[in-house]
Amino acid sequence: MSEAIHVAEIFGENVFDDAVMRERLPKSVYKKLKQTIEDGSELDPSIADVVAHAMKDWAVDNGATHYTHWFQPLTGVTAEKHDSFITSPDAAGRVLMDLSGKELIKGEADGSSFPSGGLRATFEARGYTTWDCTSPAFLKKDALGVTLCIPTAFCSYGGEALDKKTPLLRSMEAIDKQAVRIFHLFGNTAVKRVIPSVGPEQEYFLVDREKYLQRKDLIYTGRTLFGAMPPKGQEMDDHYYGVIRERVGAFMKELNEELWKLGVAAKTQHNEVAPAQHELASIYTKANLAVDHNQIVMETMKKVASRRGLACLLHEKPFQGVNGSGKHNNWSLTSDTGINMLEPGVTPHENIQFLLVLACIMKAVDVHADLLRQSAAVPGNDYRLGAQEAPPAIISIFVGEQIEDVIDQLCSTGSATHSKMGGTLRTGVTTLPDFDKDATDRNRTSPFAFTNNKFEFRMVGSSDSISSANVVLNTIVAEAFKEAADILEASDDFPTAVHDLIKKLLSEHRRIIFNGNGYTEEWVQEAERRGLPNLKCMVDSIPSLVTEKAVKLFGDFGVYTRSELYARAEIEYETYAKSVLVEARTMSDMAGKQIIPAVIRYSGDLARSLNEVRTACPEADMSVQTELVLEVSSLLAAMKNAMEEIRKDLEKAGTMSNMKERAHFCYDEMVPAMNRLREPADRLEMIVDKEYWPFPSYGDMIFEV
């Protein structure tokens, strides 16, 4: 029996949260800091020393020896530089522990060694980290000891954002301002602030660590570059929601405990569709805190897995032929008075504010579908999107039967008079209770689905930060809200104006609604007919960052400057190219040093056996053995040719200084060459005796956890 966990007692114990601040800060200081956190008002620098002292005392009382400015550079993962609390010894030689207000608010990191897309030259090293007081500090406990982590933003000496957090905070301010205007138009003047709320669902794979360490492809790239499908994959659907294995259950228990101590409200856990695949979902919180928490979740998953003799795989497609991993980004807008702007109510056709919000979001997604697609662009997602239950690369909105019926009424007749109801579910079993059904079914193929009172953006990759997706969502909806508010605030007849505007927006952007099967070829053709973009790969989506439309959008709301957008596009091209080049070099290394030598040994033994049998029994039919030797030799030759092709491509890519050109070359030439190397290798795996094969197979990894 495992030891019981008392969640209420441990939740948030490693967080400098509101309860700790109320206890340790003077009332006046607590009030000022709380006002900044809740109202978005400017931080009063005069309180920094007091807060820093209290934070240090709390951390030291809990065993901390160091602090770090914990930030999120454009690598997609977090970064930290540790400093101890000790200061110069006093006259008696005793060491003192201190954290000043200046050290709390401002840190310095190398601004040129992190990806900057040209915003920083190599010789321009200075970058700053600055305290984000809206995200609470926390304690990280690991082999280093106890470290106080202070969430921060990261910018260059010139003020350009070099991280994932700064643009997110900017976008939250943008949508806050515009959403408040919408509320006030409908007489909800008590609303002073609107906060985007996010609840991410994180998918991941767990494999045995010893087997993981035998695969260079998993170590270097996060995915298997070779691997034949085992006799059984996920076709039986028996893993989905199945009984959680003891070893995995022990991992999940420890993971939950770690996360709860860090204030992460881990809620749901279950087996996913693919063998060895699982999911963890967290409860909603404000967007910037949700981003921080999701990074903590991914870091903690890897740490706990390692302790348990496991490896956590966060790549979008670690195994070819089975489900990939993503994360559903559940997004909504909530006022400081507790009103969810995406709550349709029992009769959506009568909820005019909801219909305006819905129409604005439809417009935002339709106009900026390219940006939303790009926000989920990471190299691994190219292998996931459109395959094995992942959403397609075409952006569309699922609203369900009830909302679509209301939209159809408004577009066709100018008014909506009724809303479809869900009815009652009756099972036909006397002892099972009847209950009210939802008004619409779910659609798991839609990339952007309305689900009761939120939108679920399902395209984000499992390894990616959810920041970029939420930056785009916040900003494009802020633009649509602003344009609607500008029109309605100037109107003399609000009821008529809002009715006409809703009908106009719904009619103009009806094309973005699709409630059908997003996996079919018919939808691809229909989307093309509607004029919806189909950006199939990462490199095709990157240019959307630097269109004049994007520059104006982000510039108008102060989310990104032109230079920040162009820098991010450059980083995206470079990231894609580097990812593919690492994979190509890894494939070449594994093929040349592991697979080919193993197959040669096997074919040599096979040939010797063939000769021995022929000598012992000249009359025997040796056709099967002969054909096998010939087939193995042919596949070896195909591998050698493909390796030579990859070697030449690597040399050519190395001569390209233009990142866009290199990225396109990698997609157009190197990825197909890698596929040509994989095909004969995977066929050989099905022929060669398991004792010869140099690393664990798919079956070994996904069924033996």
pLDDT tens, residue by residue, 326-362:
999 999 999 999 999 999 988 888 889 999 999 999 9
Q: Pairing relation of β-strands 126-131 and 285-286? A: unpaired
Check whether 479 has a pLDDT greater than 70.
yes
pLDDT at position 127 = 83
Per-chain mean pLDDT for the chain: 92
Q: What is the pTM of this model?
A: 0.94
pLDDT tens, residue by residue, 525-543:
999 999 999 999 999 999 9
pLDDT at position 577 = 97
pLDDT at position 606 = 87
pLDDT: which is higher, 635 or 110: 635
120 pLDDT tier (thresholds 50, 70, 90): low
Q: Report the alpha-carbon distance of residue 545 to residue 567 in Å, rounded.
A: 10
Closest CA to 120 of 503, 419, 424, 564: 564
161 pLDDT tier (thresholds 50, 70, 90): very high
pLDDT at position 185 = 97
pLDDT at position 11 = 95
Q: What average pLDDT does this structure show over 45-71?
A: 95
pLDDT tens, residue by residue, 185-209:
999 999 999 999 999 999 999 999 9
* The residue count for the chain: 705
Beta-bridged to residue 436, according to DSSP, are 424
Question: In the structure encoding, which two tokens stand for residue 690, read together?
Answer: 């398991």
Q: Report the alpha-carbon distance of residue 116 to residue 114 in Å, rounded.
A: 6
Check whether 118 has a pLDDT greater than 80.
no
Residues ≥6 apart with Cβ < 8 Å to 162: 73, 74, 111, 114, 115, 116, 119, 120, 127, 154, 155, 156
Task: Find the helix or strand (DSSP H, E) in which 569 lies.
Answer: helix 562-590
Cβ-based neighbour number of residue 88 at 10 Å:
7
